[in-house]
Amino acid sequence: MKVKEWMTPEPKTVNEDDPVKVAVNLVVENRIRHLPVVRGDALVGIISDRDLKRAMPSIVAGATAEEYQTFMEETPVEQAMTANPIACAPDTDLVDLVREFCQKKVGAIPVVDDGRLVGIVTQTDMMEAFLTVLESQ
């Protein structure tokens, strides 16, 4: 089995210079946990819902609503993302990809072809592949 059989093609993305608010809205509206970060078609990072939560100022910890709003509207995604994320090719064997998930302890791996982002594979995608194998036995 190959990655291209299980990846989500043309995933939702965010630009590195977009404000954090754009990433938060995409995550919430699309009920996803990971967004590839791009510069044009090129993958430059990945940002997760956890990264966003960790980066945000906390009103509970004393940040004002104004500080929170300023952060959301003026902080670029680049400041909260993981740069140079692990990536794979569409023809990567699923066994190798699962090894990467296990070794690196990541929740998603962007799929790149010829330097261009073409998809994303998540832990959920891998569980669906595993379920398909189990059900076929």
Distance (Å, whole) CA 50 – CA 91 = 29
Mean pLDDT by 10 residues, the chain (137 residues): 94 96 96 95 94 84 82 94 96 94 95 94 91 87
Nearest-angstrom CA–CA distance, 111 and 89 = 5
In the three-class reduction of DSSP (H, G, I as helix; E, B as strand; rest coil), residue 4 is classed as helix
CA–CA separation, 26 vs 51, rounded Å?
14
What was the pLDDT predicted at 10? 92
pTM for the complete prediction?
0.89
* Radius of gyration over every alpha carbon of the chain, rounded to an integer in angstroms: 16
Residues 85 and 101: their CA atoms lie apart, in Å, by 12
Say what the pLDDT of residue 101 is.
Answer: 93
* pLDDT at residue 67, as a whole number: 84
Give all domains of the chain, ordered by start, each with its CATH number. Answer: 3-135 (3.10.580.10)
